Every structure is written in structure tokens, then in C-alpha cells.
């Protein structure tokens, strides 16, 4: 059953611009030479110089949205959406009989791949979706679309492709970073003044190079689908907020912002207790280490942690 958009959040279809992906050829960019490392540089400085010269290309899929669709068809949809590279990265996977996780505005809640996407020579988007019908499942051929190849120069910019799948058109927003790092995000509530709670709302993430047009939903729950969280009985009274996504690719030399909007559910929508509204947590991307920032609210404290890795 389709879910209800979270309070205070809305997103239109957005712009229609879609970056063209050039055809594949045999050109491969190779740095002309490696930098000379100074004798007085420590190990971390040397690694950073090398990393920036021979960068780790990373790809992030911000959102997948149905542009034109039949709500009834989506309510019966299951299957997989994948990024085809080497290896294959699964963005969405629902088994037969599982409830659908597509919002009324068409947004598909993509999940974390097992690892952050490292694009190979060619990267494609694949959909393998089914529609359950009494007696038999309806299935059409696997649909695919080229997103990126190794000679594409569209680094560190918002890219958009329209993909025709089994249930209508999809808009895929993504970016490929020429030099990227991985941000492992963790959100906890501490000093909670409630023994347990059902919470709803949304948490998004974006970076300064792409901007808010490339936002990713880490958490998104409507009032009717609030998720229960238990509070530990220790002195700190900690509750872990489960995220749909926690591993985000971020370009080096950018800032990374997480925006939190969450409420504590009540029996009546208008009586929901505000926990945090439009609270920004801003971090500078780096190659390694950990950062934690805290917002001290009336109901609890919100701790947002980011662990960086190459």
C-alpha cells in the first residue's frame, strides 16, 4: 500500500534537464605523473596527495521517482532496481507479498547498496519489476538505460536520466565524483524524556557541490507509518534511529549537510510533539576520521555522527 508523505516535506518533479552520456570509446584518462612526496610530509599527508592524484571515483544515486504511473499498478509492484557496474548494486528489492515502499508523489525509497558504488567502464540502470495478479504474475522484459561511461566528463555535477520501466517512466538523479569519499551516517537520540516513542518525519543529506537538487532521503516516514524506537535504561537514555540509507558518497573538497525533521507521533496528527524541525548538521568532507554534532532539544538531544572512509 502506498505510503503517506511526511509532514512538512514535499518535492516536485523538478527540472527536466538530463545530461547526455557520450558513447564509449577506448580513451582512458591516466595522470601524467605521480606527485613528488616531500620528505617532511607525514604518512597521512602523503596518502592524501596520492589519493587526490589517483582519485577514487564514486557514484551516488540520489533519488528514483516515477514520473507517470498508475497508483493501482504501483500498489502491486515488486522486484528489483539495480545499478549495473562491476559488481551489481541493488537499490530497491521487494519480494512477492511485501508491502510497497513508493510514496504518493512517486518517490521510491532506495536502499543502501552493500558498498558505495564505484563506477566501472559502463554503468547502467536496470529494472526487473513484477505486478501481482490473481493466478499469475505479469512480467515484461528487463528494462535498462546507460547512465555513465569511462569517457564521460560530467564529474561532480547533477545528472538526470529518464528510464522507461515496466510501470511507467522513472527519473533517476545521480552524480559521479572524480574524487570521492564515503560518509557513514549515524543518528541517535540521547537524554530522552520518554521511555519509548513512535516517530515520523524525514532526514535528508546533500553536499555543497551538487546542492539541494541532489538530496538523498536517509529517513522518510509519514504519520500513519511512524516507527517505534526503544530507549535504553542506562543513564544516557539512548535511542537509535533506523535509517533507510547510511552510506553516502561525497566529493572531496565539499561540505556535507544533514537536515533533520522528526516528530513524536500522537493519536491525533495535529498533536504530534516536535522533536526537531529543519535542524542542519554541516560537516566538511575528509578522507578519514569521525565527526559528531549535537542538537539539544526539549524532548531529547539529537546526535548526528559521520565516519569518513576512502
The CATH number of whichever domain residue 133 belongs to comes to 2.60.40
Residues 228-267 pLDDT 10s: 887 766 656 788 899 999 999 999 989 999 999 999 887 6
Q: Are residues 174 and 221 in the same domain?
A: no
Percent pLDDT > 90 in the chain is: 32
Which pLDDT does position 96 carry in this prediction?
75
The pLDDT assigned to 116 comes to 85
* pLDDT score, position 274: 86
Question: Mean pLDDT over residues 209-238, rounded?
Answer: 83
Q: Is 61 within 8 Å of 111 (Cβ atoms)?
A: no
Domain endpoint, select from 136, 160, 178: 178
The mean per-residue pLDDT over the stretch 6-30 comes to: 43
- Say yes or no: 152 and 185 in one domain: no
Which pLDDT band, with edges at 50, 70 and 90, does 99 fall under? low
Output the nine-digit C-alpha cell for 190: 540521547
Of the spans 48-57, 89-98, 224-233, 297-306, which averages the highest pLDDT? Answer: 297-306
Vertex 254: Cα angle to 65 and 309 (nearest 5): 85
In a domain, residue 132? The reply is yes
Which range, of 14-23, 111-120, 243-252, averages the lowest pLDDT? Answer: 14-23
pLDDT in the model for residue 84: 82
Supply φ then ψ for residue 177, to 5 degrees. -100, 130
| pLDDT (average), residues 28-56 | 52
Number of Cβ within 10 Å of residue 59's Cβ equals: 23
Q: Do 200 and 108 fall into the same domain?
A: no
What local confidence, expressed as pLDDT, does residue 267 receive?
64
* pTM of the predicted protein model: 0.78
- Identify whether residues 148 and 227 lie together within a single domain: no
Same domain, 185 and 167: no
Q: Could you give the dihedral angle defined by the CA atoms of residues 58, 206, 93 and 152, in that order, rounded to the nearest 10 degrees? A: -40
Tally of domains in the chain? 2
Residue 114 backbone dihedrals phi, psi, to 5 degrees: -60, -35
Start-end of H helices in the chain: 43-53, 71-74
- Given a contact cutoff of 8 angstroms between Cβ atoms, the answer to whether 102 and 108 are in contact is yes
Residue among 162, 240, 239, 241 nearest 201 (CA):
241
Q: Are 137 and 157 contained in the same domain? A: yes
Alpha carbons 142 and 164: distance in angstroms, whole number: 10
Rounded distance, CA 237 to CA 260, Å?
Answer: 20
The mean pLDDT value for 182-209 works out to 90
185 plus 296 within the same structural domain: yes
Amino acid 213: pLDDT: 94
Please check whether residue 24 lies inside any domain of the structure: no
92 and 207 assigned to the same domain: no
Residue 157 has a pLDDT of: 94
| pLDDT of 164 above 70 | yes
Same domain, 146 and 229: no
Task: For residue 192, give its domain range.
Answer: 181-309
Amino acid at each position: 500500500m502506498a505510503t503517506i508523505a511526511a509532514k512538512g516535506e514535499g518535492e516536485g518533479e523538478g527540472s527536466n534537464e538530463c545530461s547526455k552520456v557520450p558513447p564509449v570509446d577506448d580513451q582512458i584518462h591516466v595522470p601524467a605523473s605521480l606527485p613528488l612526496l616531500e620528505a617532511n610530509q607525514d604518512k597521512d599527508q602523503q596518502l592524501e596527495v596520492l589519493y587526490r592524484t589517483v582519485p577514487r571515483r564514486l557514484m551516488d544515486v540520489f533519488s528514483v521517482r516515477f514520473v507517470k504511473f498508475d497508483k493501482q499498478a504501483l500498489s502491486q509492484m515488486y522486484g528489483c532496481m539495480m545499478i549495473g557496474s562491476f559488481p551489481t548494486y541493488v537499490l530497491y528489492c521487494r519480494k512477492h507479498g511485501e508491502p510497497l515502499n513508493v510514496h504518493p508523489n512517486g518517490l521510491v525509497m532506495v536502499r543502501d547498496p552493500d558498498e558505495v558504488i564505484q563506477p566501472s567502464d559502463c554503468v547502467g540502470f536496470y529494472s526487473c519489476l513484477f505486478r501481482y495478479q490473481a493466478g499469475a504474475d505479469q512480467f515484461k522484459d528487463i528494462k535498462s538505460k546507460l547512465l555513465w561511461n569511462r569517457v564521460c566528463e560530467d564529474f561532480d555535477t547533477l545528472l538526470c536520466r529518464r528510464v522507461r520501466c515496466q510501470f511507467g517512466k522513472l527519473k533517476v538523479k545521480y552524480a559521479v565524483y572524480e574524487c570521492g569519499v564515503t560518509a557513514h551516517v549515524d543518528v541517535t537520540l540521547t537524554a530522552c524524556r520518554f521511555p519509548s516513542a513512535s516517530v515520523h518525519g524525514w532526514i535528508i543529506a546533500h553536499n555543497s557541490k551538487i546542492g539541494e537538487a541532489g538530496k538523498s532521503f536517509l529517513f522518510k516516514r509519514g504519520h500513519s507509518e511512524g516507527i517505534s524506537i526503544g530507549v535504553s535504561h542506562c543513564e544516557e537514555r539512548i535511542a537509535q534511529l533506523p535509517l533507510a540509507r547510511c552510506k553516502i558518497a561525497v566529493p572531496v573538497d565539499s561540505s556535507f549537510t544533514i537536515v533533520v525533521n522528526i516528530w513524536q507521533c500522537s493519536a491525533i496528527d495535529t498533536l504530534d510533539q516536535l522533536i526537531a524541525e529543519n535542524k542542519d548538521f554541516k560537516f566538511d568532507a575528509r578522507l578519514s576520521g569521525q565527526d559528531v554534532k549535537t542538537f539539544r532539544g526539549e524532548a531529547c538531544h539529537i546526535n548526528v555522527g559521520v565516519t569518513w572512509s576512502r
